[in-house]
Amino acid sequence: MDFRDTPEEATYRAEVRAWLQASAEPRTSDEQRFGEGLDDAARIAAARAWQRRKAAAGYAAITWPREWGGSGGTAMQQVIYGQEEERFLVPRMVFENSIGQCLPTVAMWAAPAVRERHVPRGIVGDEIWCQLFSEPAAGSDTGGIRTRAERQGDEWLINGQKVWTSGAHFCDYGILLARSDWDKPKQKGLTMFIVDMKAPGVEIRPIHQMSGDTEFNEVFLTDVRIPDANRLGEVDGGWKVMLSTLMHERLAIGGHLPTHLHRNLIQVARTARWNGRPALDDERVKERIANAFLSQHGVELIIARGLTALSQGREPGPEMSILKLVAGRGILDIAGFALEMAGPEGLVAHQDLGKEWAFLQQLWLSAPGIRLAGGTDEILRNVVAERVLGLPGEIRTDRELPFRELER
């Protein structure tokens, strides 16, 4: 593992840092987030404006090829930009799905006119995209999709339901996977489309999370018409298109996994009182903090391993699956322990306890989602078992049967 920048990486980092310093306000603490106090509309407007500035400076789509309007940069440059941007108070996450997965899929698979219509608008922030894959009976197993796509001349008629669609409530377009042939095996009868999220028949119902946020939605599709020109890839070739979408997710190594939580724990342990004394004086508390530090450090080392591979032009391996497994569990444990230290107040009175506690409470409430999105813990363990440890694969009996005949 090599923790240092190469000379080229160091030059790029200095350029990025200088641009960010001239363009944005630095964060003053780990807990500070952009947009505190802003409503959704103002937050999205600010994200669009920031995306436009990034595009003008060449930081909106760093790894995309120049023919798509990207900067033709390396994966490592993307990582460096992310690390530097993290230090500034700027909108994040709103364009992650658009730039990270949806638009590269459109760029790869759409007809040239459709690509030219959407990709440039997406880069500059005029259009925001979401990913409509998961359904009530198709999450870990995307092959279970039941949303129906029926061909009618030059159009497709779409009926069905999607769920957990991040950002659907503020997105302009989405990429949608639907079943176009029920007589083919589960992975062979799917087709991918571009759907206009404002089209008649698209109904978006936000899901309210226990954290108080509303990040994802149910999306109901009733007789939605999609022109055949908005198909991505071959009819019944949607599985291949979807795999290319997921391939783009690989660059998100360590993105947004906090590695400073032991510091937050130390701060709250200084203010929490146990038996009339600061909790930090208690040996059991010190041991938990030391464990938290070790697990965070392990996460940092796994990230460093992935980054070393990227820096040397190699693909990060499937062992990266360990990262989300360890980090997801670790975040829940650390934030949970902080709340335990605060006693009952930890859950109900974060406003009175201060920003530090509010941050950890919010983290605890959102941590279960980290353990589901992008592959649940069990699915990641399967990946580690099969692809890292070489254990026998899961028994799959339904791969060759017509989808129509599968048990529901």
Ligand X SMILES: Cc1cc2nc3c(=O)[nH]c(=O)nc-3n(C[C@H](O)[C@H](O)[C@H](O)COP(=O)(O)OP(=O)(O)OC[C@H]3O[C@@H](n4cnc5c(N)ncnc54)[C@H](O)[C@@H]3O)c2cc1C
Q: Which stretch binds ligand X (CB under 6 A): 30-38, 83-91, 182-190, 373-381?
A: 373-381
* 3-class state of residue 283 by DSSP: helix
- Binder among 58, 72, 120, 139 for ligand X (CB under 6 A): 139
Stretch that binds ligand X, among 23-31, 88-96, 280-288, 377-385 (CB under 6 A): 377-385
Comparing CB distances to ligand X, the nearer of 34 and 216 is 216
Please work out the total of residues on this chain that contact ligand X, with binding judged by CB under 6 A: 19
Among candidates 278, 301, 291, 373, which has minimal Cα distance to 337? 291
Q: Which residues contact 264 (CB under 8 A, 6 or more apart)?
A: 30, 31, 334, 338, 356, 359, 360
CA 37 to centroid of chain Cα atoms: 23
Determine if 193 is a binding residue for ligand X (CB under 6 A).
no
Contact with ligand X (CB under 6 A): which of 105, 166, 230, 296?
166
Between 77 and 166, whose beta carbon lies closer to ligand X? 166
**8-state DSSP, 395:** P
134 binds ligand X (CB under 6 A): yes
Does residue 140 touch ligand X according to CB under 6 A? yes
- Asked whether position 372 contacts ligand X by CB under 6 A, the answer is yes
| CB-CB contact of 222 with 201 (8 Å) | yes
Least distance from C-beta 97 to ligand X, angstroms? 6
Q: Which helix (H) or strand (E) holds 191?
A: strand 190-196
Nearer to ligand X, 134 or 230 (CB): 134
Instruction: Copy the structure tokens of residue 399.
Output: 């791969």
From 46, 365, 379, 406, residue interacting with ligand X (rule: CB under 6 A): 379
Measured CA to CA, the distance from residue 45 to residue 128 in angstroms comes to 11
**DSSP track, 21-37:** HHHSPBPSSTT--TTTT
Residue selected from 50, 59, 95, 164 as contacting ligand X according to rule CB under 6 A = 164
376 binds ligand X (CB under 6 A): yes
Tell me how far, at minimum, the Cβ of 193 lies from ligand X, in Å: 14
- Tell me how far apart the alpha carbons of residues 342 and 350 are, in angstroms, rounded to a whole number: 9
Distance separating alpha carbons of residues 21 and 47, to the nearest angstrom: 18
Shortest reach from residue 56's CB to ligand X, in Å: 28
Select the residue whose beta carbon is closest to ligand X and give its number.
139
d(Cα 335, Cα 184) in Å, to the nearest integer?
46
Which residue lies nearer to ligand X by CB, 104 or 346? Answer: 104
Three-class SS of residue 135?
A: strand
C-beta closer to ligand X: residue 252 or 280 = 252
Q: Is 147 in the site for ligand X (CB under 6 A)?
A: no
Minimum separation from the CB atom of position 161 to ligand X (A): 12
Site for ligand X in 284-303 (CB under 6 A): none
Provide, rounded to whole angstroms, the least separation between the CB of residue 120 and ligand X: 23
CB of residue 328 vs ligand X: minimum separation in angstroms?
A: 11
What tokens appear for 110 in the block?
Answer: 């759409």
DSSP 346-389: HHH-HHHH-HHHHHHHHHHHHHHHHTTTTS-HHHHHHHIIIIIS
Contact between residue 122 and residue 195 where contact means Cβ atoms under 8 Å apart: no
Question: What would the DSSP string read from start to end of 201-251?
Answer: TEEEEEPPPTTS---EEEEEEEEEEEEGGGEESSTT-HHHHHHHHHHHGGG
Q: Which is nearer to ligand X, 213 or 300 (CB)?
A: 213
Closer Cβ to ligand X, 223 or 394, answer by number:
394
Q: Interface with ligand X includes 133 (CB under 6 A)?
A: yes
Task: Return the number of the residue (1 or 389) whose C-beta is nearest ligand X.
Answer: 389
Binding mask 195-224 for ligand X (x = CB under 6 A): ---------------------x--------
Structure tokens at 292: 């938290």
Interaction with ligand X in 3-42: which residues (CB under 6 A)? none
The nearer residue to ligand X, 145 or 285, going by C-beta atoms, is 145
State yes or no: residue 230 binds ligand X (CB under 6 A): no
Are 316 and 278 in contact, with CB atoms under 8 Å apart? no
Interacting residues with ligand X (CB under 6 A): 130-134, 139-140, 164-166, 216, 369, 372-373, 376, 378-379, 382, 394
